């Protein structure tokens, strides 16, 4: 009789895991508390996977030999706690799919910020180098679905701390850690130390034949390294200074140039030629160059793809300019550190739209930049009290809005020629929007229809 595997959550992670489990001969049930999208239902039907929506068959799920949990389901969920109390292993899609990927290798990217841009850049470089490569994790196709339906040389995976928490035997051939700053503390008992430990799981199981790329400008990473026995080749990168490592490194030569090397492969990068601007994108470029050089890509190919890479959607994405006012969509800035990089890159007086579901982090790191660059803060959320109190006396003009439309009307009233209007919320989106993409698209559409096309 086939072993029974239950999959919790019917999103992109869950449907892919269920299909891979079915292909591997397991008895499978996918269970979702909400509704499963028509696209995923169609694929599950195509593969003959049993699924349920609108609730869990708890007694049956508790009989599973293993459970694959969506990263969006917290460990504190009653069903997850019940499974753990019964001793049923609860793992992530990444852990499960890695068992069946054959001889393929992985480049895995994590960090509080910069993951998506860096992952997208690495994927572009790898694809254009001629490698057969899949994109997965937090972006792209489901990793498990890719494993089930094709064969690849490389998987480029963006990993959240939640995914890392469910990974035990998985190993990154090239692990990339961008930074560790407070985020998702509500999922880690409001303990930054627990969150940082989760991020460091990117190094688990690595061997001396693997590579670990990390920011040496990040003090939390440097402190965490002292507590971990890193067996992989260390490839640090640094914008604010110079660093050397026997295996390779990346560091700034001056304000416009950095050099990256891995073993005998080396590349000098002219930052002014990058289409992605700002200090945070210099970090992203350094990490991507080191990771792809470590993967064996020719430096000339890395250089060509790097200079050809455009900004990704919802991350400091220019929407347009009208009447001397520039509109920028940074909806992906769902935490304080991401918003810091956005404000740091502003060169005009700024109308800043922020707010949403508060994650419990302090806004204090933003005070100096907000005082220097922001003349109006538009708070956009169902509960703006903490945001308003934090920036009282920091930003001269604070407007509290409880709907998207109200916030955009406030923009029209206060923005003037020479300004930038920046949507960089520093919060999650779930109070007014489905997700950060929904928030970003609404902003772009409103600006396009009501301002740019008028």
Q: Does residue 20 fall inside a structural domain?
A: yes
- Which residue, 95, 117, 263, is CA-closest to 176? 117
Interval 352-366: pLDDT, tens: 999 988 777 789 989
Task: Examine the domain organization and report whether 143 and 276 are in the same domain.
Answer: yes
Task: Examine the domain organization and report whether 201 and 349 are in the same domain.
Answer: no
Beta bridge mates, 137: 158
Task: Examine the domain organization and report whether 403 and 281 are in the same domain.
Answer: no
Is the CB of residue 295 less than 8 Å from the CB of residue 156? no
Give CA separation, 39 vs 35, 36, 55, 341, in Å.
12, 8, 20, 36
Average predicted confidence (pLDDT) for the chain: 92
Task: Examine the domain organization and report whether 76 and 100 are in the same domain.
Answer: no
- Which residue, 415, 411, 414, 363, is CA-closest to 384? 363
Task: Examine the domain organization and report whether 248 and 152 are in the same domain.
Answer: yes
Interval 255-313: pLDDT, tens: 899 999 999 999 999 999 998 888 888 999 999 999 999 999 999 999 999 999 987 77
Task: Examine the domain organization and report whether 15 and 115 are in the same domain.
Answer: no
> Which domain CATH number covers 21?
3.40.50.720
| pTM score, whole prediction | 0.76
Task: Examine the domain organization and report whether 223 and 292 are in the same domain.
Answer: yes
Task: Examine the domain organization and report whether 387 and 438 are in the same domain.
Answer: yes
CA distance 88 to 69: 12
Percentage with pLDDT > 90 across the chain: 70
Task: Examine the domain organization and report whether 154 and 174 are in the same domain.
Answer: yes
Q: In the Cβ-directed half-sphere of 23, how many Cα atoms lie within 13 Å?
A: 21
> Which domain CATH number covers 260?
3.40.1190.10
Task: Examine the domain organization and report whether 107 and 37 are in the same domain.
Answer: no
Interval 200-211: pLDDT, tens: 999 999 999 999
Is the CB of residue 134 less than 8 Å from the CB of residue 140? yes
Task: Examine the domain organization and report whether 180 and 300 are in the same domain.
Answer: yes
- 347 Cβ contact list (under 8 Å, min separation 6): 420
Q: Which of 307, 331, 346 is the last residue of a domain?
A: 307
- 413 Cβ contact list (under 8 Å, min separation 6): none
Q: Does residue 312 fall inside a structural domain?
A: no
Q: Which domain holds residue 423?
A: 317-452
Residue 185 in this model has a pLDDT that exceeds 70: no
> Which domain CATH number covers 380?
3.90.190.20
Task: Examine the domain organization and report whether 219 and 168 are in the same domain.
Answer: yes
């Amino acid at each position: 009789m086939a072993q029974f595997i239950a999959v919790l959550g019917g999103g992109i992670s869950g449907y892919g895991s269920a299909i891979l489990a079915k292909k591997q001969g397991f008895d499978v049930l996918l269970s979702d508390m909400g509704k499963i999208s028509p696209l995923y239902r169609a694929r599950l039907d195509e593969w003959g996977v049993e699924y349920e929506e609108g609730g869990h068959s708890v007694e049956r799920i508790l009989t599973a030999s293993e459970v694959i949990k969506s990263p969006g389901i917290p460990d504190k969920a009653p069903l997850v706690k019940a499974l753990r109390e019964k001793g049923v292993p609860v793992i992530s899609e990444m852990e499960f799919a890695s068992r069946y990927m054959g001889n393929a290798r992985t480049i895995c990217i994590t960090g509080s910020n910069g993951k998506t841009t860096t992952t997208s850049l690495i994927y572009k470089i790898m694809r254009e180098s001629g490698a057969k490569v899949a994109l997965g994790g937090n972006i792209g196709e489901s990793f498990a679905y890719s494993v089930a339906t094709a064969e690849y040389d490389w998987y480029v995976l963006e990993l959240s701390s939640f995914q890392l928490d469910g990974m035990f035997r998985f190993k990154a051939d090239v692990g990339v850690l961008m930074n560790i700053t407070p985020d998702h503390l509500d999922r880690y008992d409001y303990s930054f130390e627990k969150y940082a430990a989760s991020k460091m799981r990117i190094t688990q199981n690595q061997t001396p034949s693997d590579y670990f790329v990390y920011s040496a400008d990040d003090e939390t990473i440097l402190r965490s390294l002292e507590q971990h026995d890193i067996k992989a080749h260390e490839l640090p990168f640094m914008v604010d200074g110079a660093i050397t490592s026997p295996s390779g490194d990346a560091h700034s030569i001056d304000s416009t140039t950095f050099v990256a090397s891995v073993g005998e492969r080396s590349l000098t990068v002219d930052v002014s030629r990058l289409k992605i601007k700002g200090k945070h994108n210099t970090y992203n470029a350094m990490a991507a160059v080191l990771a792809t050089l470590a993967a064996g890509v020719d430096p000339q190919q890395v250089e060509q793809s790097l200079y050809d890479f455009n900004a990704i959607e919802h991350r400091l994405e220019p929407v347009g300019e009208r009447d001397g006012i520039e509109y920028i969509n940074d909806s992906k800035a769902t935490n304080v550190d991401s918003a810091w990089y956005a404000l740091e890159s502003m060169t005009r007086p700024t109308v800043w739209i922020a707010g949403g579901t508060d994650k419990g982090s302090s806004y204090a790191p933003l005070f100096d930049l907000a005082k220097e660059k922001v003349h109006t803060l538009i708070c956009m959320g169902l509960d703006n009290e903490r945001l308003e109190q934090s920036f009282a006396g920091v930003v001269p003009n604070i407007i509290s809005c409880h709907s998207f439309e109200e916030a955009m009307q406030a923009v029209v009233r206060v923005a003037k020629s020479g300004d930038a209007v920046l949507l960089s919320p520093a919060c999650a989106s779930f109070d007014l929007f489905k997700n950060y993409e929904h928030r970003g698209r609404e902003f772009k559409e409103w600006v396009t229809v009501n301002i740019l096309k008028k």
